[in-house]
Structure 1
Amino acid sequence: MVRIVLSTDETLTSTYHNVPLLDFLGCAPVDNLPGWVFKILDSQIPDRNGILTIAPYGLRKIEAALLTQGFKREEVVVAHPRKIEKFIDKNTTIVSLYEMDPLGLGPVSMMFTNGGRWKNYTSVKFKELVEKINTIREKKGYKFKLVVGGPGAWQIDFRKEEKEKLKIDHVIIGEGDHVAADIFRSIESGDADETIIIKTLPKVEEIPTIVKPSYKGLVEVMRGCGRGCRFCDPNLRVARYIPIEKIEEEIKVNINAGINRAWLHSEDVFLYKVEDKKNLYPNAEAVIELFEKATKYTKNVNPTHGSVAGALANPGMIEKISRTVGAGKKHWIGIQVGFETASPKLMEKYMNNKMKPFSPEEWPWVMLNGTYVLNKNYWFPAYTTILGLPEESEEDEIMTTQLILTMEKELEEKLGNRAHFTVTPLAFVPMGLLRDKEFFDVEEMMTEGRFLHLYYAWRHLYKEVIRGLPMVMRGNLFLLPFYPLARLGARLVVEHIRKWGIKLGFNPDKKLEPLDVKIDVDEHKWHSNPSLIEEY
């Protein structure tokens, strides 16, 4: 008897041949990326008799929560979406899907799909899975409830007409580690609301340790952030730090399953166990210990997210971590970082802690010098910016474009072939404390400043595809067929954006001067005391 069936759509069960950042391929529009190309780039996680051998981390957390809160192992299964029918029968009470971007309303998707006018692969694959589940339910006359949770569950609640059309019974929004079993039992008994909003946060001791391996060896090192950016839900949550011992337990679960990697997940790894809550100066010793513990089990250690301000605040910390994990010309450390905007005005208005321990006025300098510190130590930052922040001006957008050009020029002059970064502009999506604002519409709200921001970001990305992709994919056999396709695809995107801008009356060749900021940080300084920041 399988009482609870957990799964997700197949854009989240693809490894995408382990190509860096190709996990975002699901955000691409079906209308523009042919199905045959998607199939070539798709490579699904293996299953054992329909059960996922590794699974997205969020699924593993809910699985662990149910098992530690009274459900039996034989009652809960994490099923591959392509074989979910093997586990649904008359005894099934809940089929629950963990989703990131089920209706294509996320920032990446809204950018790639022309403001949602085109369908993307995440929404298509999600709807295909839901339709498959509903067909089983209707044909067999089963009574189970269809539930959607995960970071993208808000989209189902936001588009209630889609919820009804897709016959989704319940939507769960929030962190459910500590109440998962209670919620599932209330759904089984028929007492649960259609939209279940979890208003409490689990304490660290209530967050369960995964019992089965996670995709890419992902392990969580902290929840929340503490920087409090107004547009970001995770950053508004209270920061909680996972104890080293629990992190090691999860790394061992993955290593024992043959996953020779530890991917340390957080909103900002440099804030792990931060003690300086006012200035957010990194607790370097704790962050370094985190990486040292992980390298006891594998040399393939990467963070997911970090802040450029945290790196710049303590260059010695970055240098030490790089030595610890063996970073070098043949082993770069990838990290996703929020650039957002170059405008000090917008930084102060919407994210006035993001640049700490520095000031909003210093943000362009922080971006340039922080990237220098990262590149100098073989870190490859993948930046994201935001198009359409409320109350932004043309000057703000032009300044962001100028900073991209400045970083490109100054870093190459200083570091040569070691200068690497990408910038991916995302559409503003009303989340966090800005829920009452409107979505950025790429077609209706484009201005010349926004166009230049978009165009120069993609132009730089094309350069990185040529220079950086072979470096970060060294040893991956899929590079041989993928590299020519990536070069062609990036070039066509840049050409398309250029022609589109000209058609709208914008000048892609408008003369732009670099910003008046220079690389002047001493990358070897080690600041163990926040007061020493003044030396900058």
Structure 2
Amino acid sequence: MTIPWARSPCGRLRRSSAGGRPSTDPSSWSCSHIPSSRSISPPVGVDVIYLGEAESDFPDICRKIISGESVPPVIRGRAVPGEDIPACRGATIGGIVEIGRGCWRGCAFCSPANRVMANRVMRHRPVDDIIKDVQANLEAGQKDIILHSEDFFSYGYRSAGPDQRMILDLVRAVKRQRPKTIDVSHLSLASVYQNQNLLRQVSEIVGVGSDQNHMSAWIGIESGSCRILRMHMPNKARPAEIEDWPEIVRECYSLFAEESWLPVASLVLGLPGERAEDVIKTTELVDSLMDYTGLMLPLFFTTIADTKLGGSKGFSRQDALPEHWQLVGLCLEYNLRHLKKLHRFYQERMTAGFGVHLALRGINLLADIMLSKYIKRMKRGEPPN
């Protein structure tokens, strides 16, 4: 039903855009050429850029384009209150359910943080609305639920810190719906570091080790260099000091291992002002985490228009130093080391049959053999090819 419903309006939008096309996602055409987040003009072939949240303004903008009315070339969507975040109409990919929006830490490359810093507001959905979305997923056949926000421990956040009672009440309410597994999409390491017992309580309510074998979350290490954090992420470690960041990361990884949480960590390579010694600091931090199970994802810095670094140059292969390749090689080695264990953990979330799992084991073995030469090359400071 969705495809026929969407095809006609999308076709009218395309025909109404006078040879160009509207864009709702700046990342879909890369913002590396945009001068700044405050002076954006559409690139060739794009008539309208829509930035920000869509619930309040985007439907009306689409109606105007379809009817032939003129609209501004750049539109900034207004943020909606938490209670106005729309409900799920059925199953979502991965059973993802939004619980809130925003992050107060204000990292220079991050658009959710930039919008919160500009509006001075974070949004939290009412528990009843969240549970309705969980029920909609389960009734549509989804078995696993992922609670989504920029930082799970920021749900109900007040100036004094996380609202632990609100977080635990939410987890209990979701658990009562009897999903097969519960995960969270994102966690701030600084929040975990300051609230370690809260993570243990969440694990206990979810039933990690009894009802499900693990929980997982995407975390942002981003850099092991305190100098880079001070430049672009000054609130990253708060309320701890920036200088404590490497130790914060290591202590959180120890806690994750203790509580059977699998961290999926992002690293940002090539942030403006990064030097070889900064990359070495990140490599040293990753090397200290090699024995902890998880995934390590090194990402090249890409500019996003609606951020503090919107006018900066993106990072590319041609910009990479030998130290960058050494870091990427170490991350690949880390991932291959833990791939088999990750596959065993994630089997409880997969509906594939025995044959598929057998094939995946073969692929894991083949990856070890095929990628080893690239790892050796990168760890020498050379590009993979």
TM-score range, shorter chain: 0.7 to 0.9
Q: Is the aligned partner of 1:253 residue 2:136?
A: yes
Q: How much has 1:425 moved relative to structure 2?
A: 0.5
Q: Structure 1's 95 and 318: CA in aligned 2 closer, same or farther, altered over 3 A?
A: farther
- Secondary structure of the 1:434 match is coil
1:529 is matched with which residue?
none
Q: Is this contact kept in 1: 2:221–2:249, CA < 8 A? A: yes
Q: Is the aligned partner of 1:244 residue 2:127?
A: yes
TM-score, normalised with respect to structure 1 = 0.62
Match of 1:436 among 274, 288, 311: 311
Q: Is the aligned partner of 1:355 residue 2:233?
A: no
Q: Is this contact kept in 2: 1:93–1:145, CA < 8 A? A: no
Q: How much has 1:357 moved relative to structure 2?
A: 2.1
Give ranges in structure 1 of 5+ residues lacking alignment: 1-50, 52-77, 98-133, 413-418, 507-536
Between the aligned partners of 2:282 and 2:369, the Cα distance in structure 1 is: 22
Q: Structure 1's 156 and 458: CA in aligned 2 closer, same or farther, altered over 3 A?
A: closer
- Secondary structure of the 1:407 match is coil
Q: Is the aligned partner of 1:181 residue 2:59?
A: yes
Q: Is this contact kept in 2: 1:217–1:262, CA < 8 A? A: yes
Q: How much has 1:479 moved relative to structure 2?
A: 2.1
- Residues 404-483 of structure 1 mapped to structure 2, 5 A cutoff: 404-408=286-290, 412=291, 419-431=292-304, 432-442=307-317, 444-474=318-348, 476=350, 477=353, 478-483=356-361
Greater RCO, 1 or 2 (C-alpha within 8 Å, sep 6+): 2
Between the aligned partners of 1:142 and 1:194, the Cα distance in structure 2 is: 12
1:284 is matched with which residue?
164
**Partner deviation per Cα, 1:186-206 (whole Å, 9 max, x = no partner):** 112222437442242122233
Between the aligned partners of 1:327 and 1:95, the Cα distance in structure 2 is: 47
Q: Is the aligned partner of 1:492 residue 2:370?
A: yes
- Secondary structure of the 2:289 match is helix
1:38 is matched with which residue?
none
Q: How much has 1:269 moved relative to structure 2?
A: 0.6
1:386 is matched with which residue?
268
Q: Is the aligned partner of 1:300 residue 2:175?
A: no
**Partner deviation per Cα, 1:479-520 (whole Å, 9 max, x = no partner):** 2212221332355334224325648499xxxxxxxxxxxxxx
Q: How much has 1:147 moved relative to structure 2?
A: 4.1
Q: Structure 1's 345 and 185: CA in aligned 2 closer, same or farther, altered over 3 A?
A: same
Q: Structure 1's 232 and 87: CA in aligned 2 closer, same or farther, altered over 3 A?
A: closer
Q: How much has 1:87 moved relative to structure 2?
A: 6.9
Q: Is this contact kept in 2: 1:337–1:383, CA < 8 A? A: yes
Between the aligned partners of 1:449 and 1:96, the Cα distance in structure 2 is: 49
- Secondary structure of the 1:198 match is strand
Q: Residue 289 of structure 1 aligns to which amino acid in structure 2?
A: D
Q: Residue 205 of structure 2 aligns to which amino acid in structure 1?
A: T
- Secondary structure of the 1:437 match is coil
1:316 is matched with which residue?
197
Between the aligned partners of 2:284 and 2:272, the Cα distance in structure 1 is: 20
Q: Is this contact kept in 2: 1:94–1:188, CA < 8 A? A: no
Between the aligned partners of 2:215 and 2:224, the Cα distance in structure 1 is: 24
When the two structures are aligned, how many residues end up with a matched partner? 365
Q: Structure 1's 258 and 360: CA in aligned 2 closer, same or farther, altered over 3 A?
A: same
2:119 is matched with which residue?
none
Q: Structure 1's 475 and 182: CA in aligned 2 closer, same or farther, altered over 3 A?
A: closer
Q: Residue 221 of structure 1 aligns to which amino acid in structure 2?
A: I
Q: How much has 1:474 moved relative to structure 2?
A: 4.6
2:83 is matched with which residue?
205
2:38 is matched with which residue?
none
**Partner deviation per Cα, 1:261-303 (whole Å, 9 max, x = no partner):** 22111111111111136xxx32222222221111111241111
Q: Residue 255 of structure 1 aligns to which amino acid in structure 2?
A: L
Q: Is this contact kept in 1: 2:325–2:383, CA < 8 A? A: no
**Partner deviation per Cα, 1:442-501 (whole Å, 9 max, x = no partner):** 2x2222221221111111111011333223325743322122213323553342243256
Between the aligned partners of 1:305 and 1:334, the Cα distance in structure 2 is: 9
- Secondary structure of the 2:234 match is coil
Match of 2:217 among 321, 335, 346: 335
Between the aligned partners of 1:142 and 1:190, the Cα distance in structure 2 is: 8
1:149 is matched with which residue?
24
Q: Structure 1's 144 and 493: CA in aligned 2 closer, same or farther, altered over 3 A?
A: same
- Secondary structure of the 1:301 match is strand
Q: Residue 428 of structure 1 aligns to which amino acid in structure 2?
A: F
Q: Is this contact kept in 1: 2:91–2:140, CA < 8 A? A: yes
Between the aligned partners of 1:313 and 1:217, the Cα distance in structure 2 is: 29
Q: Structure 1's 393 and 341: CA in aligned 2 closer, same or farther, altered over 3 A?
A: same
Q: Is this contact kept in 2: 1:153–1:173, CA < 8 A? A: no
Q: Residue 480 of structure 1 aligns to which amino acid in structure 2?
A: L
TM-score, normalised with respect to structure 2 = 0.85
**Partner deviation per Cα, 1:287-345 (whole Å, 9 max, x = no partner):** 22221111111241111111112112111111111111111286111111001011111
Between the aligned partners of 1:236 and 1:95, the Cα distance in structure 2 is: 33
Q: How much has 1:426 moved relative to structure 2?
A: 0.3
The CA RMSD over aligned residues, in Å, is 3.0
Identity across matched positions, percent: 24
Give ranges in structure 2 of 5+ residues lacking alignment: 35-40, 117-121
